[in-house]
């Protein structure tokens, strides 16, 4: 019955418009989202620098599925379902930590960092430990960014990897360290959180801190772009071409987006005066005016890669009306707080912007609850929302077995 209901809502969906109401507010459809989207696709988890040493781990929850991501003894990245093979108890109960081995606190079953069960006390002599290791989760690392997938057979990441690597590899995310992490909960559906991020139509009226530096246009050839921006774009593109840094939009379809765009004239970073937030530039950069590589991938991650720092944003749905947003600020691995960067200065723009976006998404969710809500048309500048809704309709079409999957793929 649920699949039939979703198929009916997909049939009602109008291209170029926001989604029918129940996709944003219904508890049953939220559970379908978790199955159709978050249990089948690649989810951004963290950066490898967050778990630098063997035994370092980080936990997250993908719907009802707790996962632990860790650094193994050989220095590789692995992920497992954070559920003991005895009777299912949560093993790693902290958000992050370090362990020589993973020990279930319930009955003290002990697992090696490769997930194998090495001790199960009081079990009989013929008990097969080899058959009771932790259930693995698929992992891919792209330029230091860790993606996980719960599906038995994950989709290919080859196109995404090939598309974004030339843009983000020069910034060396794997040669950074965490300067600060912020986690907030927004009382709004996860799709509203993503949609709010996918457009800057709202920026002029809501983000004074961000617009000190951010160019609100998403495409260099946007017909609404002012003449002075086109000149700025042309000068920036010439400089980046000379440095061998790509900047034109990557061919990501509805799956991902990657582009390098300049900051406002005279601005170099996300700060209140436009000056660098960290004096020690990333990688081996000597040129501070590299703009920002804006990279987004469905369903839960957007990023900014600058000359002086990196921002990762991770979205995890908690319920139909609650969403966790985690922001991580990364600086050069050798940068020293208080010497190379001031933490308040580094974080103030996006701490303010995240809170403003929280209010916007929450008010959007409250308004959609109204019986008067009807899907509204996207403005031309909201083309990325159209891409997102087409991708989402395709995922839900796959879930229901209906035609939407074919439509979104065409």
Q: What is the pLDDT of residues 125-153, one digit of tens each?
A: 999 999 999 999 999 999 999 999 999 99
Which residue from 383, 389, 391 is spatially nearest to 410, judged by alpha carbons? 391
Q: How confident is the model at residue 223 (pLDDT cuts 50, 70, 90)?
A: low
Q: How confident is the model at residue 408 (pLDDT cuts 50, 70, 90)?
A: very low
The predicted model scores a pTM of 0.95
Q: At what angle do helices 383-400 and 190-197 cross, to 10 degrees?
A: 150
Q: What is the pLDDT of residue 400?
A: 96
Q: How far is CA 41 from CA 12, 38, 149, 291, 375, in A?
A: 25, 6, 6, 30, 26
List, in sequence order, the alpha helices (H) in 131-189: 158-168
Which range (52-61, 109-118, 208-217, 274-283) has the least confidence? 208-217
Tens digits of residue pLDDT in 165-215: 999 999 999 999 999 999 999 999 999 999 999 999 999 999 999 999 998
Mean pLDDT of the region 96-121: 98
**What percentage of residues in the chain have a pLDDT greater than 70?**
95
Q: What is the pLDDT of residue 410?
A: 40
Which residue from 168, 264, 152, 270 is spatially nearest to 210, judged by alpha carbons? 270
Is the pLDDT reported for residue 6 higher than 80?
yes
Q: How confident is the model at residue 222 (pLDDT cuts 50, 70, 90)?
A: low
Is the pLDDT reported for residue 406 higher than 50?
no
Mean pLDDT of the region 252-275: 97
Q: What is the pLDDT of residue 216?
A: 82
Q: What is the pLDDT of residue 236?
A: 96
Q: What is the pLDDT of residue 327?
A: 98
Query: Where do we find the tokens 């507010």?
Result: 25
Q: How confident is the model at residue 403 (pLDDT cuts 50, 70, 90)?
A: low
Which range (24-33, 213-222, 270-279, 297-306) has the least confidence? 213-222
Q: How confident is the model at residue 332 (pLDDT cuts 50, 70, 90)?
A: very high
Mean pLDDT of the region 374-398: 96
Q: What is the pLDDT of residue 217?
A: 76
Average pLDDT of every residue of the chain: 95
Q: How confident is the model at residue 229 (pLDDT cuts 50, 70, 90)?
A: confident
Is the pLDDT reported for residue 44 higher than 90?
yes
Which residue from 333, 327, 54, 337 is spatially nearest to 174, judged by alpha carbons? 333
């Amino acid at each position: 019955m649920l699949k039939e209901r979703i198929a009916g809502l997909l049939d009602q969906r109008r291209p170029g418009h926001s989604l029918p109401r129940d996709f944003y507010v219904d508890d049953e459809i939220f559970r379908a989202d978790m199955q159709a989207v978050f249990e089948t696709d690649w989810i951004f988890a963290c950066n490898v620098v967050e778990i630098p040493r063997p035994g370092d781990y980080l936990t997250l929850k993908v719907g009802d599925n707790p996962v632990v991501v860790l650094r193994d003894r050989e220095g590789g990245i692995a992920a497992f379902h954070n559920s003991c093979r005895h009777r299912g108890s949560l093993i790693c109960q902290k958000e992050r930590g370090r362990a020589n081995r993973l020990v279930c606190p319930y009955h003290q079953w002990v697992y090696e960092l490769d997930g194998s069960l090495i001790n199960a006390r009081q079990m009989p002599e013929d008990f097969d430990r080899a058959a009771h290791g932790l259930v693995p989760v698929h992992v891919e690392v792209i330029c230091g960014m860790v993606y996980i997938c719960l599906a038995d057979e994950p989709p290919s990441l080859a196109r995404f990897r090939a598309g974004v690597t030339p843009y983000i590899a020069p910034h060396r995310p794997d040669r950074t360290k965490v300067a600060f992490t912020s986690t907030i909960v927004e009382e709004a559906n996860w799709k509203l959180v993503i949609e709010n991020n996918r457009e800057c139509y709202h920026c002029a009226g809501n983000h004074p801190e961000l617009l000190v530096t951010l160019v609100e246009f998403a495409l260099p050839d946007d017909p609404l772009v002012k003449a002075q921006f086109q000149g700025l774009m042309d000068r920036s593109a010439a400089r980046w071409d000379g440095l061998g840094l790509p900047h034109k939009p990557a061919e990501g379809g509805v799956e991902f987006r990657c582009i390098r765009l300049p900051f406002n004239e005279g601005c170099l970073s996300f700060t209140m005066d436009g000056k660098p937030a960290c004096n020690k530039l990333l990688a081996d950069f000597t040129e501070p005016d590299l703009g920002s590589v804006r990279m987004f991938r469905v369903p839960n991650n957007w990023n900014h890669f600058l000359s002086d720092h990196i921002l990762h944003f991770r979205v995890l749905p908690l319920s139909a009306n609650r969403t966790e947003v985690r922001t991580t600020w990364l600086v050069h691995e050798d940068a020293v707080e208080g010497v190379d960067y001031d933490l308040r200065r580094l974080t103030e723009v996006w701490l303010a912007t995240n809170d403003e976006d929280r209010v916007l998404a929450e008010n959007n969710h409250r308004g959609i609850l109204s019986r008067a809500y009807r899907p509204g048309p996207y403005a031309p500048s909201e083309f990325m929302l159209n891409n997102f809704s087409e991708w989402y309709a395709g995922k839900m079409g796959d879930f229901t077995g209906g035609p939407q999957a074919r439509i979104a793929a065409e």
